[in-house]
Structure 1
Amino acid sequence: MRSGGRMASHEAAEVVRKPAQNGQARAADRRMLINGQLVDASAVFASLNPSTGEILGYAPDADVDDAQAAIAAARRAFDNTTWATDVEFRVHCLEQLHAALVEHRDELGDLTIAEVGATPALLAGPQLDDPIRIVRYYADLLKTYPMTEDIGNVESRGQLHHRWVEKEAAGVVAAIIAYNYPNQLALAKVAPALAAGCTVVLKGAPDTPLITLALGELIANHTDIPAGVVNVISSADPAVGPVLTASPDVDVVTFTGSTPTGRAIMAAGSATVKRVFLELGGKSAMIMLDDLDDEAIASCALMAAFTIVTHAGQGCALTTRLLVPNSRKDEIVKQVAGNLAHVRHGDPANPTTYMGPLISEQQRNKVHGIVQRAVEAGATLVTGGEKLDPGFFYAPTLLTDVDPDSEIAQEEIFGPVLVVIGYEDDDDAVRIANNSIYGLAGGVFGDEDRALAIARRIRAGSLSINGGNYFGAESPFGGYKQSGIGREMGVAGLEEFQEHKTFATVVPGGQA
């Protein structure tokens, strides 16, 4: 994301023009969905298997004309059909989509393992099964969610006036996602947007286009969603993203990716004053309080180690800074390092593998460069700090003696790298945790009342107390500060895609 991790929507993909093969252009392995039709583009680009570095397949390389066609289709579907007003039909289509995702779960899972580098354990959670549940959640929510709110009567100018609020779809949505959890990011945007009555243009990440295109094919082949309501494109052309974000026919932009790219999208959207929702970077802190006993410290040290290697550290909300009491720092560092030594990496399809690869050689080089600079600046490399072959693997890495203001303590790395920072007291721990441009998530471990009090002082969107799991379809997710604007999932996630229209009428005979 960002200065550090999830790459911007136009970064890091290998563009391969369609070579001639027996007089025919190189075909894409998946097709885009535009205006209800599954279509190719004039060129393709390669998607790599990150565990081997080999080409997995080819995706259509949409150009500006393709993007404009997708926007036009979404605009027509919103303006000229009953999609935005037919709640019952939207429920029906979301239920169809959920059923299709469940039916094709294994196919989607195999592709997610191969293209994303996800492990089967992650498929059972945020890489696939949790995102599928998001679709079910919004289908169910839509059955009971009130689209009208009565706000009562008011006396004005000698008469009684009745007022109410109706919730309408915000319009055409451009949804641009990152590579790290493509199913989660796509469905957390598409499902609530559809539930709200919006139409969508979804752009997959250049590093993981095939799995997002597969979602589009399911929509085309297994649902009654009308032509143009959902359009799915893939592209490695850096000109395509700005078309989506600046188009006057797009009413809402929802983006997950780097903070620098998020800033650019805000600027692009300002020309048409469109609604912009951003889920950006994180540099979350896990705080271990000094009231933990030996058993609790061992448990926290295990959690800290295995959290940072989840999906090879490619998660915006992962706790990448471990804040520990100075009095016990050496002991905790030793335990975390011992745990990291037992992390099994390798083929993500192997059920015994815990950590898969980074997404690309470019990302691995970036991670390695940050680690090397940290050591040069005075940090102590406890373990890791090396590339592992074949594929794009990086050794689980632990650093201590880290300056809280240094690059490695401030920048999002998006790799399996954990830094340990000592603190003196609770106030010092809170100060260090808040010493970041980000504010996405965090965790506090200790006496529950004390831990909760400290968590309430941390400026972040989601906090775990003693390992509590805050993430789920019902839970709004998003950040403070430069971690983004708005919330995904939950009721708040639906309302990101709604406009609120207030009505008033004079009450007959209702004189004041």
Structure 2
Amino acid sequence: MGQSPTITTGERSETESAAPARHMLIDGSLVGAPQSFRSVNPANGEIVGYAPDATVVDAEASVAAARRAFDETTWATDVALRMRCLDQFHRALVQHREELAALTTAEVGATPALLAGAQLDGPIDIVRFYADLLETHPFTEDLGNVESRGMQHHRWVEKEAAGVVAAIVAYNYPNQLALAKLAPSLAAGCTVVLKGAPDTPLVTLALGELIANHTDIPAGVVNVLSSSDPEVGASLVASPDVDVVTFTGSTPTGRAIMAAASATLKRVFLELGGKSAAIVLDDADFGTAATFAAFSMVTHAGQGCALTSRLLVPRAHHDAIVEMVKANFAHVRYGDPVDPKTYMGPLISERQRDKVDGMVQRAVAAGATLVVGGEKKDPGFFYTPTLLTNVAVDAEIAQEEVFGPVLVVIAYDDDDDAVRIANDSIYGLSGAVFGSEDRAVAMARRIRTGTFSINGGNYFSPDAPFGGYKQSGIGREMGVAGLEEFQERKTFASVVPGSAS
């Protein structure tokens, strides 16, 4: 998903030459590449900077470095070293927060409000969480003794690092996605090859530069790549020297990764798409629900896998709630993400905006009613908050992930009908419900998703596992569960001396 990066091999113009170039981190060294590609500001189309265009050879060198660091250094077994290095990384992130914020705004289109949350400050907190977790996390579990063959046998379980991790991230929340993979995998004792998204490579490269310049993380433990070539990611997935693949992105790509990884039976952790439903019960505060539905859907211009892009409303109250959502959309201020008054920034690229607009136009052609929105706005890649009604449950716009500021409203008849519609999806990432507490909780438990918001509750934090059911993914990020994704369990048994009867 996203616009194909532009490859630059010849001379740059004076304007282009002024744009900074960042470096990859491979085996402890910050390096470039013979070719580079532009990263473009989605709010105005200007060049933000240049990223090295890694090749498959670079990917293979990174995997080899990570393999050596795992097999030949003490990183996997030295918990104290990992704690110190994660603490150093956290301090570096905090110290360079404003630089990272400016880069994230320029490259991703993140607003100040988003930077204070899941675009930057929240991800920085993830590193702190795992650095602190190492102080208390039990790497050994005692199972006690058991009698067998006339002797006592003492048994225990040790949690070991899973090995070399290939971490591949999407463009929408590059700091969050990278650090939610980096921090727990490093805490577990793994070594990592991190590949940034082609649309937002510079943010990910900046993380690698901080690691190289401000931490004692040994050479090869973390390698950071940028590339416009899909074969680079494919080579990481297929490599026999990679033990774990963690990927965030589209469900079709996740399926392909799972298939490719099967050849070597490596562990695969996938955080994929969503088509989450927000359900408004007939005893809910409609105004609160409508505000949540409108403003959450346009967060980061709808470029979030867990956003509730389907609004399920009681049939008797359909029109009233639609009017409330429409009124809220009218108050959404979109534009320059640098402006603190801006609520919604741009889509990542012209290609993504065309995809969103195409889905909206097809929905209208199929019979949906365009209540408001559905307009491209220039300069930059802006798309107005869009509200659709009269949408069939099985329509493309109600089943497929749009990844844009588009909300569809679907009427339901009773609670059972609402549950049926919410669960009628290949996805199962998130959801929301508004209504009296007990009734809302009961309904939430019937929806097959990995996360759920009740009356606007926020589940997203470093200590809370995040992930989905069905084709929204496999595994969990964040929390203790996020650490355990990167651990193997080894069971031991030893005869207790002198226990023979």
Range of TM-score over shorter length:
over 0.9
Identify the residue that residue 463 of structure 2 maps to in structure 1. 474
Deviation, 1:57, is: 1.2
Give 1:340's match in structure 2, choosing from 307, 329, 335: 329
Deviations 1:35-72 (A, max 9, x none): 00000011001111000112211100000111111111
Quote the residue 2:42 is aligned against.
50
Q: C-alpha distance in 2, partners of 1:302/1:244?
A: 43
Q: CA deviation at 1:28?
A: 6.4
Picking from 78, 92, 96, the partner of 2:84 is 92
Counterpart position of 1:12: 3
Q: What does the per-residue CA deviation read over 1:423-471, in whole Å, with 9 as the maximum and x for residues that have no partner? A: 0000000000000000000011101000000000000000111111100
Deviation at 1:175, TM superposition (A): 0.1
Preserved contact between residue 108 and residue 172 of structure 2 (Cα < 8 Å): yes
Partner of 1:259: 251
Cα offset for 1:172? 0.2
The 3-state SS of whatever aligns with 1:20 is coil
Q: Could you tell me whether the CA contact under 8 Å between 2:20 and 2:48 is conserved in 1?
A: no
List runs of 5+ in structure 1 lacking aligned partners: 1-6
Match status 1:150 vs 2:139: no
- Alignment match of 1:356 (pick from 342, 345, 348): 345
Match of 2:135, SS?
helix
How far residue 18 of structure 1 moved from its aligned partner, in angstroms, is 2.2
Is the 1:282–1:441 Cα contact (8 Å) retained in structure 2? yes
TM-score for both structures, normalised by structure 2? 0.98
Q: Distance in 2 between matches of 1:176 and 1:332?
A: 40
Residue 283 of structure 1 is matched in structure 2 by 275
Match of 1:106 in 2: 98
- Deviation at 1:325? 0.1
Q: CA deviation at 1:20?
A: 3.0
Identity %: 74
Match of 2:434 in 1: 445
Aligned residue for 1:468, secondary structure, equals: coil
2:368 match: 379
Counterparts of 1:358 and 1:21, CA distance in 2: 26
Q: Residues 21 and 465 (structure 1 numbering): CA distance in 2 closer, same or farther, change over 3 Å?
A: closer
Task: Report the CA distance between 1:477 and its aligned residue.
Answer: 0.3
| 1:17, distance to aligned residue in structure 2 (A) | 2.5
Does residue 495 of structure 1 match 2:484? yes
User: Normalized against structure 1, the TM-score is what?
Assistant: 0.96
**RMSD value over aligned CA atoms?**
1.2
Total equivalences in the alignment: 498
Structure 2: unaligned runs, 5 residues or longer: none
Aligned to 1:3: none
- 1:185 alignment partner AA: L
TM-superposed deviation, 1:240:
0.5
Match of 2:123 in 1: 131
Match of 1:4 in 2: none
AA in 2 matched with 1:461: G
Deviation >6 Å, runs of 4+: 25-28
Q: Deviations over 1:392-429 (max 9, x none)?
A: 00000000011010000000000000000000000000
Please say if 1:319 is aligned against 2:308: yes
Which residue is 1:179 aligned to? 171
Kept in 2, the 8 Å contact 1:28–1:60? The answer is no
Q: Which residue of 2 aligns with 1:71?
A: 63
Amino acid at match of 2:223: N
Indicate the residue corresponding to 2:154 in structure 1. Answer: 162
Q: How many angstroms apart in 2 are the aligned matches of 1:484 and 1:238? A: 21
How far apart, CA to CA, are the structure 2 residues paired with 1:447 and 1:511? 62
Q: Distance in 2 between matches of 1:64 and 1:113?
A: 30
- Report deviation, 1:19: 1.3
In structure 2, how many angstroms separate the alpha carbons of the residues matched to 1:313 and 1:238? Answer: 25
In the TM superposition, what is the alpha-carbon distance from 1:291 to its structure 2 partner? 1.1
What letter is aligned with 1:81? T
2:143 aligns to what SS in structure 1? strand
The answer to whether the 8 A contact 1:486-1:496 is kept is yes
| Shift in Å, 1:21 | 5.8
Q: Which residue of 2 aligns with 1:230?
A: 222
